[in-house]
Structure formats: C-alpha cells, structure tokens
Structure 1
Amino acid sequence: MVSNMSKTSLLCQRQLLQYLVDGNFYSGQWLAEQLGVSRTAVANYLHELKHHGLEIFSVKGRGYKLAQVIQLLDANKIKSLQPAGISQILVQHITDSTNSQLLQRLQTGQMLEPGTVIVAEAQSAGRGRRGRSWYSPFGSNLYFSCYWRLEQGVPAAMGLSLVVALAVCRLLHNQYAINAKVKWPNDIYVNNSKLAGILVELSGQVDAGCDVVIGIGLNISMSEQSSQHIDQPYTDLRSEMMQHIDRNILIVRLQQQLVNVLKEFSANGFAHFVTEYNQHDLYANRKVSLLGKSPIVGICRGVDKQGGIIIDNGSTTDVYYGGELSLRPGD
C-alpha cells in the first residue's frame, strides 16, 4: 500500500513534469508557486526523479530543465486509441515492477481479463531473466506487462517467450520498418545490439489453468548515462529510426499485436511459429556457446517444436531448453 506521503510526492512529481516536458528552464520559485509548495520541496521532488534516471539540469539564476524533451504516458490518450472490446491498459507513474504489479493482483484474488496491461514511466525494481535487475530510467523506454491465461496448464507455455519476441518483431517490422532478430530464449536484437528483453512468469498447476504475466522492456530513448548501468551493447528505437517515437501509440499497437499472437499460440502451440522463429534467429547457423553447468559449443540450428535450441557439435545434434541456460556467440 502506498502511503499518503508517497502518493503526494508522486502527484507533485507528475505535476512538475507537466511543466518541464517542453525542455525549457523554469525557476524553482515559479514551480513552487504553481504547486503550492516550498522551493525546497520542489528541489526534493526533482531529486527523487533524478534518482529514477531522469536527467535534469539545475542552473543558478535560470532554474531547472530536462536534459531532453520527453513525452509522458497519457492514460486518456491511450484509452482513446484502443479499439473497442480490448482489455484495459493501466498507466502508473513509478512502480517497483510492472510484472510484480500484475502478479500481486493475481495473488490477492483479482480477476483480470486476458490482455490486461500495466505500463509505467519508471521501475524501481525492474527484473530481467535469472533474477537480474533491469535498468528502468524514467520516461525513456517502455516498461510493459501483459496478463494472459493458458487453460492447458504450465506445459502449454513451452516456447512462449519466443512467441512474445516474434510479436515484438512483427510490430517493429510492420509499424516501424525495423528488422529485428531474436536471441534465444528471450532477447530482441537490432544490428547486433540489444533492443528489448522479455520476462515470462507463470502461476498455476501442471494439469490446470495457468496464469501468465509477460514483461517486455523495450529501449526507446536511452540517455548517455545508461552505459554506466548496462554491461552489453544496446540500442534504442530513436537511434535506429532517427525520429521521435510516440510511446502512447506504441503501447496500444503492442497490446494489439501481442494479444493477436497469444491467441494464435493458445490455439496452435509453438509448432505453429517454428519457421517464423528460425527466420528471425540471431545466431542461425553460427557457432555458439550455451552456458550452463558446463559450456556446450556448436552450431545453432534453430529451435524444435517446443522452443528448445538445437545445437550441432559436429558429432551429435542435441536439443536444450530454458531454465538457467544462457546463449553467447562462439569464439
């Protein structure tokens, strides 16, 4: 539960940003007057936003301005863009993790409609695969989680992260003319740099219906300081397209694309997507190292009908599935 003080702080942060989003300087005194708070309070609220990765300049005699113009998520605009009959999209300012927010709702017994989405401006505890943190600076990227239901149970989720990746690839190609590749089992690359990651979390029984929470982190406009927090090559949509990306439109398009692909997956399983995946395989017919308890080196031959990666080591061809495995390019 968020305390009243925290709610007040988040509201004031949001109000401040409504003035600062245009990229101009505003004095601390003027901002304080608009919000009905002290200049110290304004400085504190802006400090909190800096803590969440938002770059803000402070110049004596001129005031505060954002390092770059940003576009805030707009719940009303998103709703107006959604087609009739599709599930709701909930917009949050700053949250711990959009995946965690959906999981908490399920754990407290809330009934969610499949396709329900939560998005946020920033995450304080964003999570990636294998327990890694996901750098989630404010207003820069897309932090998106979607609820789905698999009535066939947990086994029906085989290959799901790859299918989600293909949904993102379809969207990038059809709407933004970007040809993306999938790095098994859950990353999306453009020009050999990471653009997005996927985290699928399951809650259910082997022989009963399974609740699925699908998290997608997509880089849109990374700041210069991002390199201090990320230890691998990365890219963003702004760099690939050299133009502004409307996150509100992107969110609506992604929900529609993802729901359509999840319906395909629920009806047909992963076997329906094998050919498409192999066309987007980042390491197709390349030497790779599969890291687990002991490294496995060979040529990547795509995936099987359950989403397992096929490795040809010259003498045998074996299939490996997710868990604690991590794929890297070979030497």
Structure 2
Amino acid sequence: MDIREQITSEIVALMSQEGGAPPWRKSWSSGYLHCNASSGATYKGINQLILAIAGAIHGDARWLTYRQAEYMGLQVRKGERGTRIVKMVEVNRRQAAKEADADGEVVAEEGNRALVMKAYTVFNASQIDGMAPMPVRDCTVTCADAVQQIIFGLQGTGLKVNFGQGFQPCYLPRTDEVRIPPASEFTSLEDFHATLLHEAAGHGSQAVKRLAMMSSDVPRFGSAEYARLELIAELASAQLGAQLGLPMGPSLIASHAGYLASWLQVLKGDKNEIFRAAANAQKICDYVSKLAVEAQPLVVPPAMGETRSEVAAVARPSRLVL
C-alpha cells in the first residue's frame, strides 16, 4: 500500500482546485490547531496538515478514532466518512512485509529494524453525536504581543529585522535580514503581523545558523529549491498563525497565488516532498515557540518602527501561551 503516494495525490488534487489560497489555510485561519479530543494532544507534521485541510469542511479542530469515541460513550454517526492520518511504527525487519500488507508501508530499513508508516482513521467532532461544543479560545496574550515575542527570540539569534524598508516584504539570506514595509502600507495590522511572521519565522528559521534547512547559496527565484523553501515557510507561518489566532492576510494570499503552480510541480515530482515540508514546518514552529518563551525583549529605537504594533515595544507580555 503506497500511503505516501495516495496522500500526496489527494493534497495535489485539492491544491489544483484552489483559486489562490492554499487549502489548509481555510481551517488554520480559525485560530485552532487540530488535536485529539481524548488525549488533548496536538497533531504534528503531516497529520496536522491533513487535518487542517479536512477541518475546513467540518469547522471543528477536535478528532477521535472510532474506538476512542466509543470509549468516551459517544457515537460516530452512521454513514460518516473518516479522515486518514498516519503514524510511524518501528518493527522487526522480518515483520515489515506483513505490516505493510496490513494497511501500512515500509519507509526505511536499517539492520534488523524497519520503519513502517501505518494509516488509521479519525472522525471530526462534528461527525460524532454527543460531543460538547468547541470550547472558546482562552488566551490572555494578544496576537501582537505573541508576534513581538517571536521576533524578540529570533533577533536574539542574530536575525536583523528592518521595519519601514522596501516595497516588498522579504528575507535576505546573505545578510540574514528581514525587510518589511511600514504597517501603514498593509490593509490591516493582522495582515502586517502575518506577513512579518512568514518572513521572519518561516524563512529566517531556515537559515544555516538556525535550523539549516537551506544552504549558504541563495536558491534561484523560480527554481524547485526556491519553491520547496517557500512551501516550508508557508506551512510554518500558517500553523503559527493558527496557534496565535492570526488569520492569513490579503498580502500573503496574493503572493501565494503565484506559488501554487510551482508547489504543485514539486509535489507531483516526489511523493515524499509534502511529508518533508510538513516535518520541517513543524520543526520551525517548535523552534520559534521555544525561542519566544525564553526570549527577553530587545530595546528598539523609536526610528525602527512606527508604532507598538511594529515590534517597537519593550514591555514583555505577562504570560505567553504558544
């Protein structure tokens, strides 16, 4: 069973239908990461991406297996179709073929051990009778404060963030620098913060001095490598936006419309690419979340930003939840 090929094909088909915004954005813009309603654990990597796409239909971020629902005294409604996600299982190499035949796929072998990707099905809370309503998001930290803290953390690693510069938001790998126009140039502060998060966290974290997802050579614009790095940055900033309750703004929607074709070409060429991109995006989210919690605010000269919303504030939030 070629699970990776099937999942990639499904995602490619959905992306091909979109008119500009990637399909995962509809769900992640709701301000919640997808989680298991039984354990409370947030799904990671490719599973978070799969459920973000499926969640756009259901409108709820909670999921359960059929057995988990039964154990909780709930009932999946008759006729409902679940969503397939995956887990990695390490088995004895001699068992690998058997595991692969039973709804799995061998993805790596070393010595007498093998790594098998197993598929299983979960159901959204909206498909289950007896589920309580989705709880109201409870967070004492504003989006602006959370984005500020992420920027503080990244600046602590040496990233330069220059506000009010240029006409086009960008990350420059050679100088390890983010340039972003004034907030007044954006349609809203949310659009400004989402774009800043994309450039600083999504791209800046990929640098050699941080997570080393890119080489020291700058990839050529329009190349397959450029598309791969842009896809990772998009998935990371989208997931971070969901954590913070920060929707995708029109600036990012406009820029991503031009990337969809290149992303589709990359994904069609390698069934592993979407899995790698989702895994790397998860690494970025974990990395910047840790930086944000540990960071001390930097003293920023007034000329560096026009307003507090442009990360010119020096007051640390009382409590940060990421």
Task: Bin the TM-score by the shorter chain.
Answer: under 0.3
* Greater strand proportion: 1
Higher relative contact order (CA 8 A, sep 6+): 2
TM-score, normalised to structure 2, is 0.26
TM-score, normalised to structure 1, is 0.26
* Greater helix proportion: 2
